[in-house]
Chain A
């Protein structure tokens, strides 16, 4: 077994791989600056934005507060509407539930809408192992499925690829389609390939953006129409999502929808907002005959145990935090090595997987605060990242369920920081240190480990700020 500290080396290796690929870096920079610009334009009124963020924070906080009651209400209303509800504690259970439903219908081909939760449980891989053919139908997901890759962004999964790479991929996988770098032509090809698969699929699998407890409604947000196809054309629809996606009332939905689309892509609204409340009813001529919902926990109920960390679960998965993150834009989604990248991934993944497994992610943050400033539900991401950093080395906050507390503590580092603390908490010793540092500045080593790998070594000034201020005649207050 590798030690928890080895994850730093692995993370660093992934970062290097990302930084060494100028094409990918260019693709990310181009995409992220575009998305930031569009988001800003879609919120022309700062007061409206602020009010809406407060409103949406309250809606999500209220849902988390009442989570057990709301889930029971949701379940009761979904069942009354004819939708079957399944609960999964972990990925294995979720996948087995999906497979059981498919097998009981003899379903061999599945069309899939975009779902990060299905990525989280690696559902495609599991179903393929059990002879179910799964086709991702969202264009971005379709592209990365062809390439055998994972999403690098939660909203724009193929953002790391440019049109040349996609053109080559299409030509390689579908040799009968003439090579083209024209985006409209590539899109049309995907349409033609997918139409047949929608028509013939035995089942559709999708994610869910919001679930309404009050009415027993599943809401899907999308632009392409593939989510509608997957949830309308095949005779069987399976939706999978995390337990935290529930909201109490139908009136909670419009303010969330309004901020989700604008935060994610800068659109006023997405092309489709699809609200599903039942399978095909008596007399109706289309729609799936059965609709199933898989509610996944997978660590979420543990996250909710901590009053501060539970704020993580307010997330509506818009991706604005990663679009605005100076680290994400440089390294891209794959460097994180997790399903959810960027600031929200940095907060969520160590809680789901354990600090001993992926706590190193928390070091990839400059604490600039951009993510918290744009988060539509006001998740204090830097504060939570800082908390997790501290949990990873100290683990003294004693939260139940947070795995790997204290596992990233390095002895040398803690000696240095203890010395630092000692030095800074005594004025006399600090003054002595200051004198020594300025007088002996020529002794500063030119090499300071990782710090000087990319930077020049810091050298104390010849005169300290205190001395300079004193010589100007100010007192020490």
Chain B
């Protein structure tokens, strides 16, 4: 279809359009304090049915254990190669079996879809303005952990909270290292396709739990 490419580009090049001028870079910032960012973030993401727990880097495993107990989880899918994963492994949570994503998805897709109730991931940070966590899945922490299990637990370090998405993209230098997949996640999966009635848990996770570590 090289001819299609040439034809389209030739037609487009035929028309010179009057320059509309440089697009000014627009990075809104609210200069929120750390506490304000946590508040805004929590308020927005809770409004779309996510659960937020606050703790610190010393006691966060207790918070995780409480979440697992409340949700009656017996197994948790996570990467044991991340700092967080290593900590969970060395301080096992009572009656929770840790599962690793060891094989390629196609080798265990069926079990993955039917047997796993919860997945735990790290985050690249979060956005206070919209209540969104940012995920950059990696080789260690593949994409489906935050998508297929009905419960997604995301660990957020408070210092990675930004006022806006524009600010996060700029300050974290996304443009130079876009990963295979970058995600903003704002609450559990939802739909309003039937009579504009909100229903949670369509195709992605039914629950999103964010544990904020100060």
Contacts and interface: CB of A to CB of B under 8 A. Distances in A.
Contacts of B190: 223-224, 271
A312 interface: no
Interface in A358-390: none
A116 B142 CA distance: 30
Interface in B37-80: 44, 48
B183 A226 contact: no
Contacts of A163: 194-195, 197
Contact of B11 (A226, A287, A302): A302
A87 interface: yes
Interface string B78-112: 00000000000000000000000101111001100
A115 interface: no
Contacts of A158: 193-194
B184 A224 contact: no
A310 interface: yes
Contact of B178 (A217, A270, A283): A217
B194 A183 contact: yes
15 contacts: A68-B9, A143-B194, A186-B199, A187-B202, A191-B203, A232-B181, A233-B144, A268-B129, A268-B186, A269-B186, A281-B180, A285-B105, A285-B142, A286-B104, A287-B142
A268 B203 contact: no
A157 B192 CA distance: 11
Contacts of A143: 193-194
Interface of B: 1, 4-5, 7-9, 11-15, 17-21, 23-27, 44, 48, 101, 103-106, 109-110, 113, 129-132, 139, 142-144, 147-148, 164-166, 169-170, 174-175, 178-197, 199, 201-205
Contacts of A232: 143-144, 147, 181
B147 A225 contact: yes
B77 to A, nearest CB: 12
B130 A268 contact: yes
Nearest to A232: B143
A138 B148 CA distance: 16
Interface of A: 27, 30-31, 34-35, 51-52, 55, 58-59, 61-62, 64-65, 67-68, 71-72, 86-89, 93, 97, 137-140, 143, 156-158, 161-163, 166, 183-184, 186-188, 190-191, 194-196, 198-199, 214-217, 223-226, 228-229, 232-233, 235, 243, 248-255, 257-258, 265, 267-281, 283-287, 295, 297, 301-302, 304-305, 307, 310
B149 to A, nearest CB: 12
A268 B132 CA distance: 10
Contacts, number: 247
Contact of B196 (A31, A88, A139, A217): A31
A35 B196 CA distance: 9
Contact of A86 (B1, B44, B180, B181): B1
A89 B4 contact: yes
A214 B25 CA distance: 15
A272 B204 contact: yes
Nearest to A113: B203
A190 to B, nearest CB: 7
A199 B101 contact: no
Contacts of A198: 113, 203
A277 B15 contact: no
A339 to B, nearest CB: 19
A251 B170 contact: yes
Nearest to B129: A268
